[in-house]
Amino acid sequence: MGGEWFEDEEFWTAYAPIMFDEARWAEVPAVVDAIERLAGPAPGAAVLDACCGPGRHSLELASRGYRVTGIDITEAYLEAARESAAGSARFLRADIRDFSTDEPFDLAINLYTSFGYFSDPRDDLRALGRIRAALRPGGSLVLETTGKETAARDFTSGESFERGGWEIRTEYSVVGAWEGLRNRWVLSRRGEVVDRSFDIRLYSGTELRAAVLEAGFAAARILGGVDGSPYDQAASSLVALAIA
């Protein structure tokens, strides 16, 4: 791995209370309900949670009887997930660009805008290809990210708020011709300041569908949320439902 921003474990440790607060954990059952309706995994299906973070969705899926494997590169998150899972799911440290498995999965998920981190767009295709290779024929991928259209619709240059005991100031700027968004998050608490910036690549609906198909999936639908709503002017996010 070559020093990409997301490989900095201190970043994820510092921002965990902000990204994974009580509200983010509370929404998980409804999200998993929606994924079950959307992808229709069979009882006991094998599920891959790609870029699982602290295991929010993995843990919920495991509690429902699915055979879950979560992968991430942040060891601190994996340790927390393993402790919470108590053996009900397995968590592996792996870079999604290189992940491989001997036992194919029935469903893969990549949620909460965990796609588009790589500085080289060819690595996005490489990651999609590894997920495709990990699925059995006919298996499904549910990928949720921020769409180029919704990012432009909702764009703000920044905001300030409080969360998890921190005062937070965010700044956003467009990278190139809407190729991505640059994010700056400044956290302050009792004299402590954490200040980090990072970029996320943006895809339009048609661009994401093309990427998924180029990576080897047989079919793909573009949706406006995990609830299956259309990707239109009211979309809440950009979701690809792809079939291997």
Q: Rounded to whole angstroms, how far apart are CA atoms 184 and 172?
A: 6
| Strand, coil or helix: 236 | coil
- Tens-place pLDDT, residues 183-197: 999 999 999 999 999
Interval 137-176: pLDDT, tens: 999 999 999 999 999 999 999 999 999 889 999 999 999 9
pLDDT at 164: 84
Tokens 């400044």 belong to which residue? Answer: 186
Checking if the pLDDT of 66 tops 70, the result is yes
Q: What is the pLDDT of residue 3?
A: 83
Extract the runs of DSSP E, i.e. beta strands, from 60-157: 67-72, 90-93, 105-110, 135-145
> Averaged over 46-52, what is the pLDDT?
98
pLDDT of 93? 98
- Residue pair 132/166 in contact (Cβ under 8 Å)? The answer is no
Q: Give residue-wise pLDDT tens across range 102-147.
A: 999 999 999 999 999 999 999 999 999 999 999 999 999 999 999 9
- pLDDT of residue 2 exceeding 70: no
Residue (of 7, 16, 100, 11) closest to 50 by Cα position: 100
